[in-house]
Structures are given as structure tokens and as C-alpha cells.
Amino acid sequence: MNSDHKPSWSSHNAGYTAVVEMLVTAGGWGTTGSLSICLTDDQRYLKTDEPHPVGFSQFNNSSRATFWCRGGAKYKLLTDFFGTWTVYKTDTTISS
């Protein structure tokens, strides 16, 4: 909200807001599963019948945490994971 940018899919004049909070366990190449628990998924000010623009998944082969976000908005990612985050502006797979 109030990021000086209103996505076309937002129903509020000040934009859109999302709080997605996850607990994640990385997979161990078959020894442990790629598990995640969603603690909070609070997404507001979407136009009727719009799917949530923010979500989470994990690549099973590499345990890469992945937040996916719909285009047209500004996002801020906060994490206690000390790794390198990469932004992809197109669809991606583990191999490309």
C-alpha cells in the first residue's frame, strides 16, 4: 500500500497489500521432504475474482525457495535466510 503505484488488478486507490509469512524446511535429496507451513497469507484489495498475486513454492530438486509475484506492483521481501535472491521477470524452471 501507498507505494506510489497502483496495479491494474488492485481495488484500492492506494494499491494492494500482502503479508505472506512462511516456515520452510529444505529438502535433502530424498532424506527429508521440502516442507513449508504458511503462518500468514493476508492479501487485500484485489478486484473481484482475482487470484492472489503473491505465493510461495519450493523447487524439490534444489530446495530453492521461490516467491512468485504478479507483475504490475512493487514488492519488498524480508527474510532471515542469508542467501542470494534472484529476480526473474519471466517463467523459470530449475534447469533454466
Domain-embedded: residue 69: yes
How far is it, in rounded angstroms, from Cα 73 to Cα 60?
28
pLDDT digits (tens, 9 = 90+) for 25-77: 877 776 777 788 999 999 999 887 888 889 888 876 777 788 888 888 888 88
Asked if 39 contacts 56 with a C-beta cutoff of 8 angstroms, the reply is: no
The pLDDT-based confidence of 96 (bands split at 50, 70, 90) is low
Residue 95: the pLDDT is 59
- 2 vs 19, residue with greater confidence: 19
**What domain count does the chain have?**
1
Residue 1: the pLDDT is 67
Domain-embedded: residue 7: yes
Domain of 8 in residue numbering reads as 1-80
Domain-embedded: residue 28: yes
| Residue 91 reports pLDDT greater than 70 | yes
Domain-embedded: residue 87: no
Domain-embedded: residue 89: no
CB atoms closer than 10 angstroms to residue 55: 16
